[in-house]
Amino acid sequence: MESLREGIPDKQGEFVITVDGINLGAYVAFPSTSAVGGARQGLLVCHGFPSGEGQLGPDGSFHQLADRIAADTGWTVLTFAFRGTATSGGNFSLAGWLRDLQAAVEVTLAAPGVAAVWLCGFAAGGALALCAAGLDTRIRGVASFSAPADFADRASDARRFVAQARAAGLIKDRNFPQDLEVWARELRDIRPLDLISQIPPRPVLLVHGAKDEVVNVLDARALADAAEAQAELKILPGAGHRLSHDPRAVALLIGWLDRQGS
């Protein structure tokens, strides 16, 4: 896995992370007090599967979210587009997305002034954030929103899921994936439900909408149970799936980050 560290800007703005020879669009927000200098916490924000017609990945609201978190918490905040989405190259695979996230962790740790890295993810990005933290003890904690407990439902009809990903523009190459069974096995084998227990006593925040129309709220409860009651679970009444646009969810995240950084 190859990542481009030297491309990190020393002031707020867009840059590129390179993973497996694929360029990923990325963005960093620094707290307004100082662009560089002084040890601080670093947060990596991960998006989920694209939603909405014509949307290939995270929209500009993720940049705005990074700006707000940096301003409100004093943390350095990075976000990026997984392979196959937005302006990033490559084709979607779950293992590829996990490698993208792991490379972005390295980039966050290399960002100017960052002393430690935390993760925040939404939907599939939240699930992969839990997996990455379970595999890497350097990650100090995770806030996960609307995350599925696993991806078994996608693996059950992998050919159909490939067709959906291709129609959404996440798979661009005609001959990808070269081995459908290997591609589908990643969906079965990468399971936050198996890895979340490896995170505590590092802090875990699980937030889910009570009326999530994409991922059942039972997934959040299953993840909390798998963490052996060491995760903080918040169910938001009336909330749907897209919690990155829910002011209550954002307020929960910022309050949680403030507690971790104190």
Using pLDDT thresholds of 50, 70 and 90, give the confidence band for residue 183.
Answer: very high
Residue 8 lies in a domain: no
- The 3 state secondary structure assigned to 144-156 is EECCCCCCHHHHC
Residue 120 lies in a domain: yes
Is residue 39 packed enough to be buried (19+ CB in 10 Å), middle (13-18) or exposed (0-12)? exposed
Quick check: 247 pLDDT over 50?
Answer: yes
SS3 132: helix
Confirm if 102 and 3 have CB atoms less than 8 A apart: no
What is the total count of domains within the chain? 1
> Phi and psi dihedrals of 131, rounded to 5?
-65, -45
Q: Which residues of 48-73 are buried (b: 16+ CB within 10 A; e: fewer)?
A: bbbeeeeebbbbeebbebbbebbbbb
Alpha carbon 236 to its chain's center: 20
Residue 3 lies in a domain: no
CATH of the domain at 136: 3.40.50.1820
Q: Supply the pLDDT for residue 33.
A: 62
Residue 7 lies in a domain: no
Per-residue pLDDT, averaged over 162-174, amounts to 93
Residue 1 lies in a domain: no
Confirm if 126 and 196 have CB atoms less than 8 A apart: no
Residue 180 lies in a domain: yes
Per-residue pLDDT, averaged over 161-185, amounts to 94
Residue 200 lies in a domain: yes
Residue 5 lies in a domain: no
Model confidence pLDDT, tens digit, residues 22-79: 999 999 999 986 444 556 899 999 999 986 544 445 667 899 999 999 999 999 999 9
**Alpha carbon distance 217, 119 (integer Å):** 21
Model confidence pLDDT, tens digit, residues 69-116: 999 999 999 999 999 999 999 999 999 999 999 999 999 999 888 999
Domain carrying residue 200: 13-261
Using pLDDT thresholds of 50, 70 and 90, give the confidence band for residue 224.
Answer: very high
Give the position of tokens 């009326």.
211
